[in-house]
A and B are shown apart, each in its own frame.
Chain A
Amino acid sequence: MAPVFEQGSEVNLIAALLIGIAFGWILESAGFSSSKKLAGVFYGYDFVVIKVFFTAAVTAAAGLLILNQLGLLYFEDVWMPTTYIVPTIIGGVIMGVGFVTGGFCPGTSVCAAAIGKIDAWAFMGGILLGIFFYSFTYESIWEPIRNSTKLGKVKIGDLIGLSEGMAVFAFLLFALFSFWLVDTIKKKYNIKDVEY
């Protein structure tokens, strides 16, 4: 069944635009258009990032598994990343430095730029500069790292020995624990909202 639309077809690009509009609307409505709110996750005054991010991932993981069990979607037919351990960790570390210095990630910078945040336009310009630099130095610096330590299309359940359903359930418990933890931290240390 899934995917309903053919890859590369015009109708699929229209679907992409509509799905993007929904994505952008939700990000903006939840406050992801503000670097102040996003950076709050690192300083304990605003945990909206963790709450939205994990709720969305758990909802989608559970929903996709249900679609799979109903025979409406097979994971072989849709996007599934191949895991490369070392480049993913190094790339994540570089992005982590980018997050705490820039206050956005690429998707949220687009949504903040949409409502007129000039710092978000600067961040988007930075993304382009970074990719230009990466592309011009690809063969000399990045290529060997990027293709190293390939693990294949591995799911977390297979890695830790849980069935797909149990893995999603464990993810749900982890998400609920993290929501409880962040609210407890904010309350216990009486962390005030930052206003500016």
Chain B
Amino acid sequence: MPSVMLRKREDGKLLFYVPKKDLEETIESIEFDSPDKWGGEVVLGDGSRYFFEVLDTPPPIPITLQAKRVSGE
């Protein structure tokens, strides 16, 4: 369960940053992204998948959250 730092890039895309791994990737898609539900599975620019706990409201960005790695098919 890596700690993930989320921040917005200038073009509005979310950046997914894992300090320990030097992984900085854009988030290409996120399962739930509406005012009353946020989180779920995210797909990164390099194709890897992670899972965030589903929240009731979108978190304030930037923020550090715990993510779970979703193993590939």
The judgment on whether A and B are partners is no
